[in-house]
Amino acid sequence: MDKSKSKNTSANSKAAKYIRLEKTNTEALRGGGANRIEAQHKKGKLTARERLDLLLDRGSFNEIGKFVTHRSSDFGLDKERYLGDGVVTGYGTVNGRLTYVFSQDFTVFGGSLSEAHAAKIVKIMDLALKNGAPVVGINDSGGARIQEGVESLGGYADIFYKNTLASGVVPQISVVMGPCAGGAVYSPAITDFIFMVEHTSYMFVTGPKVVKTVTHEEISAEELGGAEAHAIKSGVTHFAESNEVECIEKVKLLLSYLPQNCEDLVPQNEDPGSAGKIEFLDEIIPDNPEEAYDVREVIKHVADDQSFLEVHAAFAQNIVVGFARLGGRSIGIIANQPAVLAGVLDIHASRKGARFVRFCDCFNIPLLVFEDVPGFLPGTNQEWNGIISNGAKLLYSFCEATVPRVTVITRKAYGGAYDVMNSKHIGADMNFAWPMAEIAVMGAKGAAEIIFKKEIARAEDREKELAIREKAYNEKFANPYVAASRGFIDEVIMPHQTREKLIVAYEMLENKVDDLPKKKHGNIPL
């Protein structure tokens, strides 16, 4: 036998095998076909793979489960099988750090979730849990694969269960870039952060048709569950971006603040210094205590330059939350916003703050509070909708947090809100106050009207008497020194010293160990 001939035949058959493999890979890459990809682009949407290309570092993606297909043969499914079954899964790096990903492919059965599709997602989550790295899930799906029935419903439940087990272990980010309806919304809802894109993504438990049948309301999908609705009204989404490219950039930015898992430390970056002149802070508080200022200016001047990433920016704007860096290290900021509703705490603000505090505490991100709060918002709307239990969420979250916790009282710290906003009494490590801080049960006018009611009633000139009593109350309490004399404030500092004091304080708290009493889990007033 001609040995060289036999060698050639074997090489040819190997080549043929590789060509076949390459062809299958390309088919897998094509998803549901060129027309469907074009249709996706026409809607202003990218494909599942294009989204991953933008998210992951170039060349870092490793796909898992490319050859998986569904196992159903009902309703003609036996004639339609696509490699990957409508979801691209795997791992890669984002800014050089390991990240697990799944990206639903709307071009295959509308991205609907089959048993096999769900199993691919669960596999990724299992790997993320075992290896301690974040999961980014890109959702673009018509929901449960209708032809599969209960198997697809079971697939969703498997994902919800895994989302819950992974909660607090690794960061989970949901990016909604198309439909996400029915029970499917509950996976993103359990995860830590939701991103949506204006005009191309929507989330609702029941869509416009059902809404019309049940409540007779006529509403579009966008109005009911678009990015704007969830960014402003419901607070379901943390970020609403104007297009998919910007959305993915934001996801990458968010990841840059987060540790990889609950045992990891926050990333350490270069310290670029603060923005502009720090002395600006000495002038920021208006002379008139009723006058507003924008707390984001305070954050901007205290945190590292350009480092503030606001979360939930359009929802409950009377409280500002977000990530920043201080001396190069991530911190989580919760700040009352005097520029909106005088910074009062209401139901939405309490929920927003509580969720953020708990996220930071899960992932070892130190907390910083800027406090300027006149109290809780009064009224039947608030009381009947549960300001008591919702306000308690924020209180409970701070009480339970064991990460380094620092508060800066910039102006008002009134009433119960003084206790709630990370006071020393509920476990804050360091509390600073600016010299103009007012720490009291309530504002001077309200206080004088109550405690000097008789004196004011008896006075010939009631207004003058009220003004005198108000002044006396102010002199006693409209300062930080009574609280400082009790040790409830550690130091009264000039605003321009804030950045430097905070950097040193967090360095001092770097090795903080604080264990909660042994328990199964607490019972936060949900």
Name the residues that contact ligand HXC, by CB under 6 A: 109-110, 112, 142-147, 153, 156, 179, 181-184
Which residue's CB is nearer to ligand HXC, number 18 or number 75? Answer: 75
- Give the nearest distance from C-beta 88 to ligand HXC in angstroms: 17
In the complex, minimum distance from the CB of residue 521 to ligand HXC, in angstroms, rounded to a whole number: 24
Q: Which two tokens stand for residue 200?
A: 């191309």
Determine whether 183 is an active site residue.
Answer: yes
**Nearest-approach distance from CB 306 to ligand HXC, in angstroms:** 39
Q: How far is the CB of 24 from ligand HXC (least distance, A)?
A: 22
182 is known as an active-site residue: yes
Which is catalytic among the residues 28, 181, 417, 440?
417
Give ∠ CA 375-381-383 in degrees, rounded to 5: 60
Max Cα separation, the chain?
126
Q: How far is the CB of 329 from ligand HXC (least distance, A)?
A: 39
Question: Which helix H or strand E contains 491, and what residues bound it?
Answer: strand 491-492
Task: With beta carbons less than 8 A apart as the criterion, state whether 61 and 218 touch.
Answer: no
User: Given the complex with ligand HXC, which of 202 and 315 has the nearer CB atom?
Assistant: 202
CB of 191 to ligand HXC, least distance (A): 15
Which is nearer to ligand HXC, 154 or 427 (by Cβ)? 154
Closest by alpha carbon to 333, among 299, 284, 297? 299
Active-site residue identified among 44, 183, 276, 522: 183
Alpha carbons 326 and 57: distance in angstroms, whole number: 26
Q: Is there a catalytic annotation at residue 522? A: no
Of 30, 60, 49, 59, the closest CA to residue 89 belongs to 49
**Residue among 416, 427, 446, 459 flagged as catalytic:** 416
Dump the DSSP string for 217-266.
----HHHHHBHHIIIIII---SEEESSHHHHHHHHHHHHTTS-SSTTSPP
By CB neighbour count within 10 A (0-12 exposed, 13-18 middle, 19+ buried), where does 524 fall?
A: middle
Which CB, 158 or 282, lies closer to ligand HXC? 158
In the bound state with ligand HXC, the residue whose beta carbon lies nearer, of 112 and 191, is: 112
Q: Which CB sits closer to ligand HXC, 147 or 174?
A: 147
Query: Is the four-CA dihedral 368, 372, 376, 382 of positive or negative sign?
Result: negative
What gap in Å lies between CA 400 and CA 392, rounded to an integer?
Answer: 12
Annotation marks residue 417 as catalytic = yes
> Which among 65, 137, 155, 182 is annotated as catalytic?
182
The DSSP secondary structure of 25-55, one letter per residue, reads: HHHHHHTT-HHHHHHHHHTT---HHHHHHHH
User: To the nearest whole angstrom, how small is the minimum distance from the Cβ of residue 146 to ligand HXC?
Assistant: 4
With vertex at residue 326, the alpha carbon angle to CA 405 and CA 409, rounded to the nearest 5 degrees, is: 45
Nearer to ligand HXC, 134 or 143 (CB): 143
**Catalytic residue list:** 182-183, 416-417
